[in-house]
Amino acid sequence: MRSALVRRTVLTASAVSLALLATACGSDKADTKADAKPSAPASSPAPAAPAVKGKTDAELTALLITQAEAPGFLLQPEAAAKLADVDKASVTTDKPECKVLVQSQALQKVGAPTGVARTALGAKPKEAGPNASAEEKAEAIKNAIGTTVTMVGLTSYDDKGAQEVLASVKAAGQACAGGFSSTSQGETTKYESVQRGTGAPVTSGEEAVSLVLTADLEDGDKATILLTVLRSGSTVATFSSISLLGTAESPVTLVADQSKKLG
C-alpha cells in the first residue's frame, strides 16, 4: 500500500553523547603524614554566547501556521500528533550525503536545533456540487482520498546552523540526483531520482530550495515527494508533501503564508 511509504519515511537520526568527569588528586610531599587532598580542578573558560541565538520550542510553536491562517487547507490532527515521534527511529542511507533528504522529508531534526515545532495539513478537496453526476461524485471522492498532505516543520539554530542546514540540503539535491536508498526499522525505500522542483521557484525566505524525490513503491508504482526547505533568519521551515495517489501537488500558498508569519 502507498500508505506504507509514509510509515517508512517517518525516520530519524539521533545521537547520544556521554561526558566523563575526572578529578586529579595530589598529595602534600612536605608532610607525608597529612591526609591527601584533592587538587582543585582546573577552571575552563565559559563557552562564548552564540552570535545568533535560535528560538525555543515555545517560540516556534507560536510561529507555526494554524488552520485559521491556511483557509485552503485542513489540519490533520492524527498526522500532526504522530510527528512528535519522528525522532525516535533511526535511518541509514547507502550514500551518507543523502541522509539529510530523508531526515528533512520526514521532519526529523537535522543538526542541533534549539527548538522544534511541527504540524500537518491537507489540501482542502473540491466537493461535488448538489447536481453532480455519479461520475463527478466518484471523481470528487477519488480526489479527496488522494489529497496532498503537507507536513510543516520549523527548526531554529544558534549562529550559522540554519545556513548550514540549507547548504547540506542543496548539496544533497545535486549529489543524490541519480537516486539512493534508505533503511529504517528493517524496511528499505529506494529513491530513483532527486530533481529540482519543476514549478515556480520558491521566493519566500532569505534562501530556499525545492526538490522532487521519486520513490519506488512495493506494488511497482511510484510516488513523488515534494520537499521545500527555506530559511528565514535563524529558522528553517521545511515542507514535505505526499499524496496516496502517488503525485503530490505543490502547496504554494501554504509555503508563502508560513514564510510571511516567520517575518
Q: Given this model, what pLDDT does residue 40 score?
A: 52
Q: Given this model, what pLDDT does residue 50 score?
A: 74
Q: Given this model, what pLDDT does residue 32 score?
A: 40
Q: Given this model, what pLDDT does residue 43 score?
A: 56
Q: ∠ CA(135), CA(140), CA(144), 5° rounding?
A: 150
Structural domains of the chain ordered from first start: 54-262 (3.40.1000)
Give pLDDT < 50 ranges for the chain. Answer: 1-37
Q: Given this model, what pLDDT does residue 129 score?
A: 63
* Interval 117-153: pLDDT, tens: 999 999 887 666 666 676 656 665 655 666 899 999 9
Q: Is the pTM of this model over 0.85?
A: no
Quote the CA–CA distance of 235 and 163 in Å, as a whole number. Answer: 9
Q: Given this model, what pLDDT does residue 147 score?
A: 82
